Amino acid sequence: MRTVEIRVPATSANLGPGFDALGLALSLYDEVEATLTGDRGVHVTVEGEGAGEVDLGEGHLIVRAMRKAFGAMGVPQPEGIRLRCRNRIPHARGLGSSSAAVCAGILAARALADGELSDDEVFALATEMEGHPDNVAPCLAGGLTVAWSDHTGSPRMVKLAPDERIRPVVVVPSTRLATETARGLLPKDVPHKDASFNAGRAALLIAALTQRPEPGLLLAATEDRLHQHYRAPAMRESADLVERLRAVGVPAVVSGAGPTVLAFSTSDTQDLIAPEVGNDWHIQQMDVDPVGANVQFPETR
């Protein structure tokens, strides 16, 4: 038997104007212990988020990602897989739980197999399973990432280091929202002026997050016209919270497809967040994770 341990961070995508492009890794983690056993069959145990809800066999997302990676490497599929999952990333809340599972599975398979899979191939495989790279990129690389597809359709990313004064705050509701539902609310076309507006704000956001994390600049840089207001009917409480926070000067956006709200806290705004939230939300101050997914063999720790 051979075992590998994977730690993968939560992520927040879009960050307001950077729709399907920008992503941020957060200091909240799922931990997976994956073992290839001599027995036949798949055995999965889950603690924390998703316990009692997710498939505990071949349908588990990490198992499916492992199987896909083994196939991509051209190595035989193992008959016996055992997973122990300690989940802290909320499911269906816009914090990249599915990206974390996909990345964990692919990295576990690469570590356990005798085949080869480059970092670029890991990124491409994870993006293929997820459908878009904005959560996958920060999960794998950490930090702040810009992701796109080149002329061949292959995903690419650039990793940036956010200013050390950036302190993300996630405000998580008890309700869930499937990414497919949120994406289904988006129109096929948007006005040219809105696309131009978001392009400018996304560029400004890079500058604000990496060089000038001033509340006023971050507030302007996190404005969006491409996706949040279209999705608001599916998460009215989240949309209302974003509006309240922004009204008192807190740079706040919907995290990913929602319904979690992400706020950028600074010394000038940290005391403004809690009074606007109320008791029906879970508020958690975080750091930016600088490393991304971590792979270790227990015997070499």
Residue ranges of the annotated binding site for ATP are 90-100
Binding residues: 90-100
**How far apart are alpha carbons 172 and 181 in whole angstroms?**
18
